[in-house]
């Protein structure tokens, strides 16, 4: 159902007395990753400055969240099932089949280990978002991050010169809306996520203060970044395992690979092995046929499909050339050209960079040229490669 926002809106939450039209207000809401210069009231981030060193003490939210609900639900089921299995191992009477094959006695408890590991990880995330205190110190030469979770302290230091940017990056989805976290972008290596669990306005203010302490330039608007990426004739060279950018006088060329292939290969092997284990245990009559007789072949088929797609993705590279007013894309598989497409600059109006997933807590992004036509430049890339 559409809602017309053509009337004036007055902000009742603060004494600013600002009045603006609905479209402007919505635009400000969408532009929610920009730094905020004014410190919010009752802010849970304490700031101090002493002898050239900025220091922030960031407390946890100290309130329940989605991680707590999921952790209690998941751990309750996983640990209960594991406990019943272990109890049955030592108290129950083994069948003749188990006596003939003692390894079956340990098969199901071992199968539960990944589920227990997931439960422990989610419980740690719940504790960290609620009770972890983070101390960030930015000195003249070094940056030190100290995380204190219920007395367990971890400290990490690195040169200030390693950091090239600080920004708000989407970390996960809540009610179909992105939840942003502070990330320090390094000139080489993975980004550093601070894991701050504070309201969004506090994160924006903290980003403003952090960028000031790091002596970074102000954040460009999305439109300015789009224009720079589309029209800049002097892009810097960039090279990594997934992306190689070569500048030219009238544009640039680059070769990209997707990191999704490696992920699908691992997941495919996992699903296939799970299906095989279920099939063996059904054949040995160590577990009921229903529903595992259905789960086993489905798991093996899914595993084979994922492995095949991952294998093809690993062997595929895309060669782009954006020179002058022309653009071309050559898709190669195992060194052989399988497809070539040609475009003009007028086919595209902007560059769109969006999060497409996560690997080991690090966000992955997809970059697409959009306009009259749509051209995907890279997919499932780490932030550094996607922004390059």
Question: In terms of domains, do 260 and 312 share one?
Answer: yes
Q: For residue 230, what pLDDT is reported?
A: 41
Q: Are residues 156 and 230 in the same domain?
A: no
Mark which of 168, 200, 219 sits at the end of a domain.
Answer: 219
- Looking up tokens 């060669």, which residue turns up? 319
Of 157, 188, 219, the last residue of a domain is 219
- ∠ CA 7-10-16, rounded to 5°: 150
32 alpha carbon, distance to own chain's centre: 18
Tokens coding 299: 């798991």
Is the same domain home to 224 and 295? Answer: yes
Walk along the chain (388 residues) in steps of 10 and give the mean pLDDT of each run: 41 44 39 63 77 80 76 86 75 64 66 84 85 83 84 83 77 66 74 72 81 63 40 50 65 72 84 83 70 80 88 81 79 79 81 73 76 77 64
Are 291 and 357 within one domain?
yes
What is the pLDDT, as a whole number, of residue 169?
73
Contact assessment for residue 245 and residue 254, using Cβ atoms and an 8 Å cutoff: yes
pLDDT at 26 (0 to 100) = 37
- Residue-range definition of the domain harbouring residue 176: 31-60+132-219
How many domains is the chain built from?
A: 4
- Same domain, residue pair 48 and 102: no
Do 285 and 366 belong together in one domain? yes
225 and 213, same structural domain?
A: no
Q: Which long-range contacts (CB under 8 A, 24 or more apart) does 222-230 make?
A: 222/31, 223/350, 225/351, 226/350, 226/351, 229/351, 230/345, 230/348, 230/350, 230/351, 230/369
Instruction: Please give the model's pTM, rounded to 2 decimal places.
Output: 0.44
Same domain, 2 and 43: no
Q: Are residues 176 and 311 in the same domain?
A: no
pLDDT at 329: 82
The structure tokens listed for 268 are: 């495919």
Tokens coding 8? 């004036």
Do 36 and 110 lie in one domain? The reply is no
Task: Choose the final residue of a domain: 219, 236, 254.
Answer: 219
One domain, residues 293 and 240: yes
pLDDT for the residue 154: 85
Shared domain check, 181 and 253: no
């Amino acid at each position: 159902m559409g809602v017309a926002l053509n009337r004036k809106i007055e902000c009742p939450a603060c004494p600013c007395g600002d009045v603006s039209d609905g479209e402007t207000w919505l635009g400000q809401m969408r532009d929610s990753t920009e730094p905020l210069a004014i410190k919010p009231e009752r802010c849970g981030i304490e700031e101090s400055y002493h002898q050239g060193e900025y220091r922030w003490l960031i407390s946890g939210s100290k309130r329940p969240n989605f991680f707590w609900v999921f952790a209690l639900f998941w751990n309750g089921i996983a640990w209960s099932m594991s406990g019943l299995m272990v109890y049955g191992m030592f108290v129950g009477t083994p069948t003749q089949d188990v006596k003939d094959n003692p390894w079956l006695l340990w098969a199901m408890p071992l199968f539960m280990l990944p589920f227990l590991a997931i439960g422990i990880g989610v419980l740690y995330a719940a504790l960290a978002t609620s009770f972890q205190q983070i101390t960030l110190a930015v000195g003249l030469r070094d940056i030190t991050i100290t995380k204190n979770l219920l007395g367990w302290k971890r400290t990490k230091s690195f040169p200030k010169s390693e950091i090239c940017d600080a920004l708000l990056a989407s970390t996960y989805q809540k009610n179909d809306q992105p939840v942003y976290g502070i990330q320090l972008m390094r000139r080489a290596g993975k980004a550093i996520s601070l894991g701050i669990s504070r309201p969004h306005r506090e994160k924006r203010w903290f980003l403003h203060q952090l960028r000031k302490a790091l002596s970074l330039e102000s954040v460009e608007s999305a439109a300015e970044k789009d224009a720079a990426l589309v029209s800049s004739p002097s892009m810097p060279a960039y090279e990594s395992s997934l992306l190689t950018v070569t500048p030219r006088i009238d544009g640039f060329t680059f070769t990209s690979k997707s990191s999704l292939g490696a992920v699908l290969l691992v997941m495919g092997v996992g699903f296939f092995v799970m299906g095989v284990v279920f099939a063996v245990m059904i054949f040995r009559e160590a577990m009921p046929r229903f529903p595992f007789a259905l789960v086993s072949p489905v798991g093996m088929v899914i595993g084979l499909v994922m492995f095949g797609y991952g294998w093809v993705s690993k062997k595929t590279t895309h060669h782009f050339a954006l020179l002058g007013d022309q653009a071309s894309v050559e898709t190669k598989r195992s060194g052989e050209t399988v497809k070539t497409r040609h475009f003009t600059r007028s086919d595209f109006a902007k560059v769109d960079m969006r999060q497409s997933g996560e690997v080991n807590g690090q966000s992955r992004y997809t970059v697409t040229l959009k306009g009259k036509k749509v051209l995907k430049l890279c997919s499932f890339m780490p932030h550094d490669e996607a922004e390059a």
